[in-house]
A and B are shown apart, each in its own frame.
Chain A
């Protein structure tokens, strides 16, 4: 999703002057955004309290209870609310633990992309010149490859696995941050307060991290939220292709890959993990859209 750094930043300054209250107010008026916060909150609660909420450990196998349907269908038992998978593990428990995995990877991916992207973007935008050209051409190269393809290539080199997949997806997300931070930094660095600070002898590091960085945070927050949802989606996709988390990790994408072999006989087994992915990603997208609109009141009237 595209973020327009200029418009978001302008409104952000105006709103900061008013103590930020009207951002919160504008956000609270947006029903979709509040719904998004609700979903995210629910998901975080579930992932923190997974061991207490899940009826069974995610990899406990119940011999003889294979691919049971949810309890409200024929053949379902109340012992397993959402039924069991092909190895006789409680599907609900695996989905609950899956929230933990997904929220975790979303967090790691966006943290990594945020830190690396901000560093390079600040340097490129602040110094300009050759170093800017070099950094921008490198992002061009990364952006010439479709995101999943690049992630697949990185995983092929590093080998399949959860942390390699996180690393691969994060690399794919970095160029977006670099571009956004660079554009915002370039707009910011010629403003009076930066020039004034420079004449007082502020060092480059101080200019970049103490003076400029806090003032370009608004578009970055929006981008980070959207990266969170993209990251969850991409990690699930890699898991589905067998390149991400490996069984028996209760990751939703990996569970789907497993479930697709049984989907004629047990459709719910396919439907559930996908619904979870959809819900969480939707939550983060609603939230991200909400913040963006709250920073940019022009769009809502």
Chain B
């Protein structure tokens, strides 16, 4: 078990090193050079150029530049945004809770809906229920999220067809302007509790979260339900499941206690992988719903040619993803006793 853990951690360290090399080279790969990107079209005098290069450490050799870059990364300095002139790390952590809150809710929806639907589809295999849900999930999987978000806005916020029970979900932002909230944690649902009229503000924040989280949950939901179904179907054919049935256990006992636990590994893998599709979803969802998170910020930085933001943001996001992948690997240990008893993974 310790061997498995150490192996995973060393691969993680190597991967992060590679990612840092990649983000380091982004700035060096821009057509032209970083100084040109910084000063814009008019150009600079050779003296000022040399001065700028020295101040950015660009006059040194590439390995030394990389070494300096890594040194500042370990100190938590990701450079200064070329546009806002604020530290990139600070801007990142200002926006990170917004994305995290949205992503967490989306993943929650995906798991809470996806797993039971997958189980039901497997148990009621080849019935109308199975076909309907798996058809729907394939459509969900094929959905362009940026379009789906717009459709959600069209039908439920703007209430284009004027349906009586819709129209209460706001289109953009995290909170209505009538509530003034002092941001303590950055998580809106938590912050509103400390405000004056906590219930009304909580409900308001929740309504703002509804549509973006549904849009973001769609693809992970589809993948999770499909994977739950197929991995449970494989397990349901095994002998021990038939034994459990023969003993007279009801379907709940057979499916939930015996089969589902063994079907979990691929499902956990998919949930882990979904986190990466959550980030992808975030990039599109945040753009549509003007959600002030990191993904929206990164897309804007591309348009503004703010390369330090792109560099730092990418490194931070990749670090999160790699960390989550490690957590997924460690979850296997909890689920699979075979892995736990083995010394070297």
User: Known: A148-B284, A155-B302. Is A229-B314 also a contact (CB below 8 A)?
Assistant: no
Tell me whether B283 is interfacial, beta carbon within 8 Å. Answer: yes
Total interface residues on B, CB under 8 Å, equals 56
Residue pair A152, B158 in contact (C-beta under 8 Å): no
A285: chain B residues at CB < 8 Å are 138, 141-142
Which residue of chain B is the closest to A271 with respect to CB atoms? B151
User: Known: A146-B277, A149-B298, A274-B150. Is A281-B142 also a contact (CB below 8 A)?
Assistant: yes
A1: chain B residues at CB < 8 Å are 141, 223
Residue pair B142, A157 in contact (C-beta under 8 Å): no
A273: chain B residues at CB < 8 Å are 147
Query: CB within 8 A of B160: which of A267, A277, A289?
Result: A267
User: Known: A233-B144, A242-B303. Is A146-B138 also a contact (CB below 8 A)?
Assistant: no
Tell me whether A17 is interfacial, beta carbon within 8 Å. Answer: no
Residue pair B146, A299 in contact (C-beta under 8 Å): no
A2: chain B residues at CB < 8 Å are 227, 266, 270
Tell me whether B143 is interfacial, beta carbon within 8 Å. Answer: yes
Residue pair A148, B19 in contact (C-beta under 8 Å): no
Tell me whether A124 is interfacial, beta carbon within 8 Å. Answer: no
Tell me whether B299 is interfacial, beta carbon within 8 Å. Answer: yes
Residue pair B29, A137 in contact (C-beta under 8 Å): no
Tell me whether A237 is interfacial, beta carbon within 8 Å. Answer: yes
Total interface residues on A, CB under 8 Å, equals 46
User: Known: A256-B146, A267-B160, A282-B142. Is A152-B151 also a contact (CB below 8 A)?
Assistant: no
User: Known: A155-B302, A243-B302, A270-B154. Is A145-B314 also a contact (CB below 8 A)?
Assistant: yes
Residue pair B14, A137 in contact (C-beta under 8 Å): yes
Residue pair B230, A299 in contact (C-beta under 8 Å): yes
A286: chain B residues at CB < 8 Å are 138
Residue pair B283, A149 in contact (C-beta under 8 Å): yes
Residue pair B299, A241 in contact (C-beta under 8 Å): yes
Residue pair B280, A149 in contact (C-beta under 8 Å): yes
Tell me whether A260 is interfacial, beta carbon within 8 Å. Answer: yes
Query: CB within 8 A of A146: which of B29, B139, B146, B317?
Result: B317
Residue pair B142, A264 in contact (C-beta under 8 Å): no
Residue pair A299, B233 in contact (C-beta under 8 Å): yes
A158: chain B residues at CB < 8 Å are 31
A112→B15 CA distance, assembly (Å): 24
B141: chain A residues at CB < 8 Å are 1, 285
Tell me whether A210 is interfacial, beta carbon within 8 Å. Answer: no
Known: A148-B284, A243-B302. 9 other contacts (CB 8 A): A2-B227, A141-B22, A144-B18, A146-B276, A157-B29, A237-B144, A240-B287, A274-B151, A282-B138
